[in-house]
Amino acid sequence: MKQAIAIAVAGLAALGFLIPPDAAWARAEETSATGAASATVISPVSLKQTADLDFGIIAANASGTGSVRLTPGGGAAVYSGSVRLRCIGATQCPAPHAARFEVSGEAGRSYVIAAPQRIAVPGKTATPASGGDGLADAPALWVEEFRFRSASRPDAGPAGRLDSRGQDWFELGGTLLVPSALPPARYRVSVPVIVSYS
């Protein structure tokens, strides 16, 4: 019996040690302040393509490689190596041209443009694949050195600024690499272009 009482008293003493002797003193050290939360909502930036990046109808000889370079801003296509423009009548040979995009969003905001450094362009030949009704795959081409020119900041590269109506546009050019001995084929690929506020 004496042992049980001693244990109980020791337990109460330990518990009493954890309680501050003056709770009012602890509350006097507390303080408070009022903060604020705020946010500004702007119009999201949006992008619309109005013209494709078109390198035209080209041909290369069997032993040489070459390229087609399209500079945004209305410049003519530049052909190098064995690559040349080949047309079949004026109505079937549209002029090569840069892609064009329209940008809209918050008036007066600056934006930046991003695209891949290099992208493969798959092709399909003009002849059916053996043993099937579909067209055969052609060797892939590559497009690289994408270049940009916005209407608002033509010398700023991949950047622009929306006008007082929240509008602008830019062009996208690039270089098509053409290997030798290509079969007649049609090439097409989607190029991901991203615009964001800067």
Residue listed under structure tokens 């003519």: 76
Structure tokens at 126: 């003009």
Beta bridge partner(s), residue 112: 159, 196
Residue 4 within a domain? no
What does the pLDDT read at residue 84?
Answer: 84
Question: How far apart are alpha carbons 180 and 83 in whole angstroms?
Answer: 9
145 backbone φψ class: left, alpha, beta (φ>0; ψ -120 to 50): left
Question: Per-residue pLDDT for 100 more than 80?
Answer: yes
* Mean pLDDT in residue range 20-29: 58
Residue 15 within a domain? no
What does the pLDDT read at residue 148?
Answer: 96
What does the pLDDT read at residue 1?
Answer: 42
Residue 124 within a domain? yes
Number of domains forming the structure of the chain = 1
196 backbone φψ class: left, alpha, beta (φ>0; ψ -120 to 50): beta
Task: Please state, in angstroms and as integers, the Cα–Cα distance from residue 186 to each residue in 48, 84, 136, 138, 198, following that order.
Answer: 25, 16, 11, 8, 37
Residue 1 within a domain? no
pLDDT digits (tens, 9 = 90+) for 49-93: 999 999 988 887 777 789 999 999 888 899 998 888 877 665 567
Q: What is the pTM of this model?
A: 0.76
DSSP string of 103-120, one letter each residue: EE-STT-EEEEE--SEEE
What does the pLDDT read at residue 135?
Answer: 85
Other C-beta atoms lying within 10 Å of the C-beta of residue 72: 21
Residue 32 within a domain? no
Q: Tell me the residue range of the domain where 109 lies.
A: 46-197
Question: How far apart are alpha carbons 106 and 26 in whole angstroms?
Answer: 52
pLDDT digits (tens, 9 = 90+) for 171-188: 999 999 998 878 888 899
